[in-house]
Structure 1
């Protein structure tokens, strides 16, 4: 059995259990320090991102981020079924009664696609979609995940993945990526349908593109607060 939660909305806290059985022998294989686990996590996300329907013209290829993994571990170790007080990164969380594989955990989040229609969002009122949209959010290209064993909990295995920069912009939740031919926005930086040219800067405001058009990057505010719009002309941002 397992349960997952999105990164936003009310959280249901699982009541503690007195069960104290030890984790299965394979639990250490799920560690954030295990290179094979890191590869499974990154590859699974990239496989799912390549397979989105409709196809994405600006979907970035994911890479492992150790800082995000360490942050995920710190939160997983709290054994609390709620979102962490993070700012820069998005987050998916899941609890299970057994140590399931990372591939299965990630697939669980992605399976919310059944509740989602591109351009519309949730197909039914209050249907959960946030875990899916974060998995396929186009510019969340750095991933770090961790798992903790929580013997005091009914759901003893706590999985956390953090996605940087954060996705799930509420204004664009129905369009987690730009629809179009795969790599349409990155024809010269493409790996099997995923873009490999992320912008390493961030805009402070959602209307930076408009500010750049109106005032130009020589304007002090635009220059300081719209770094992505000003410095990244061909990169995905």
Structure 2
């Protein structure tokens, strides 16, 4: 009886830990992702009055991991993703700095005066640069298909 209970518990623990080994950034990569976001946010031009640093959120990382595991570049809405910002990267890159910089390149498509995109995509840029965001969590799922990795970053203002 005790052996069966131990085996069941072991299976549950392994089932919970297994995806983490396949779809998450290393601690060094998390630091690079976080540092890159903060460097870009501090270089904001024009300067945002309330722009602060973001911190890593394990809760948001778990949500990003849950999304990345599906290997689909579809945005998540409602439920536990309600009131969050979300960026998705799909492609060959795995370097967290390169991925964040790719999102940031959309700056040229954003009009700071009107606070709107100028006809092209700029939502990745605004998610990185939204001044009230103070929490970030990201995950990567490698090899979703040939030469395709999926990265999700979830953004929160920490108020709920």
Task: Tell me which interval the TM-score lies in, with the shorter structure as reference length.
Answer: 0.7 to 0.9
CA RMSD of aligned residues (A): 2.2
1:92 aligned to which of 87, 91, 99: 87
Does residue 151 of structure 2 align to residue 159 of structure 1? yes
Confirm or deny: 8 A CA contact 1:46 1:61 kept in the other structure.
Answer: yes
2:131 aligned to which of 138, 142, 145: 138
Specify the alignment match of 1:35 in structure 2. Answer: 27
**Larger CA Rg, structure 1 vs 2:** 1
Alpha-carbon deviation of 1:123?
5.9
Inter-partner Cα distance in structure 2 for 1:39 and 1:95: 21
CA gap of 1:106–1:115, structure 2 versus 1, over 3 A, is: same
TM-score using structure 2 length: 0.77
Gaps of 5+ in 2: 1-20
Q: Which has the higher helix share?
A: 2
Specify the alignment match of 1:77 in structure 2. Answer: 69
Q: Which has the higher strand share?
A: 2
Inter-partner Cα distance in structure 1 for 2:129 and 2:109: 14
Specify the alignment match of 2:114 in structure 1. Answer: 120
The number of residue pairs the alignment matches comes to: 137
Specify the alignment match of 1:111 in structure 2. Answer: 105
Q: Secondary structure at the match of 1:149?
A: strand
Inter-partner Cα distance in structure 2 for 1:61 and 1:84: 25
Alpha-carbon deviation of 1:83?
0.3
Q: Deviations over 1:32-60 (max 9, x none)?
A: 3x221121111100100011111122102
